[in-house]
Structure 1
């Protein structure tokens, strides 16, 4: 996975993935499965201490900020040093300090076994090779507590991008956006294989269609349990 570091650093320098707003699906996952905000400073349940939430592929920090602002202790794992720099700047500018950011790939998460309560990963497991995806899934499983939930979204094999095919469903991107990175497309069997250690709680395919019914983009939204 580390051989794509330069490509991802270049992508973040170009600000292609420097996003500031959290994914609606992550907000929905947190509100449905952990706790829901019911006022400016009120929630439908209280925590004895901030739950630890692993964000694999934390990028420029949009979900780290969202989690901090809602009473969690987020732990970002991010391959790109440029993305880590942008994330630290974002959280510092927001006046937040209860977080961790580790510059590391997903195959070697520097966190103890069974030490996080929840995990999320947005548009990351489809930006690595199949081998790296399997090792990253194993690392999330290792670090998650028993019964902990894991939200992940993945690009569907009904989507398409331009690139060199390296293996079945695995492409080296030659488009300007994310040039030189890898894209891994998933069908149901791929999901079941990569995340075999987990129990599947839910899986939804979200598609965007044009006026002719053709797929413009499609992503899987999955919730797993350890």
Structure 2
């Protein structure tokens, strides 16, 4: 039997943590292993409980969610961080993604969206609010362009095969595995294998990081529309 996804809840409001706990503990494949009320407590709790996924609030006293995310990602790369915020216009959410979070979720998300997002982040995918994804991409393209002929050490695609580069670009365009399979006329199992190899070769911790790298190196058009999963989310 597959072990449940170990989740750590981080929020400065006890009632919100309680609400998330009640929702998640009703899921057979999810286990809440701990709670924290601020970023400092979150880092200590990750060290103590080794969660698979951290459900991380952004605005908290003392150490906020961005700083905590950066510390957790650096020290515990196997732990994924799914950030939370009240408003999708919250620039802190973009900062958290820059800091290494693997996903973004609104606090008013439906129960099914919350559990689906946790499962997606755990398996290495991500489900992001489209407006946040767009702001992140716009920010990357507003930065000074990379050198026209980057060295092999700077170019994340150097070791990719032609097919893997196609998969990389498709990931950056927001396609999920099923969409990539349809686009490239491949089976989903083959796409899954390619995605794993792409992430390993470019040194990306997950698909969100791959999107950031692709747009930073101008491998995709910043104006390209982001696909949606039908529920108002970008499916990555």
TM score, norm. by length of structure 1: 0.35
TM-score (norm 2): 0.34
More strand by share: 1
More helix by share: 2
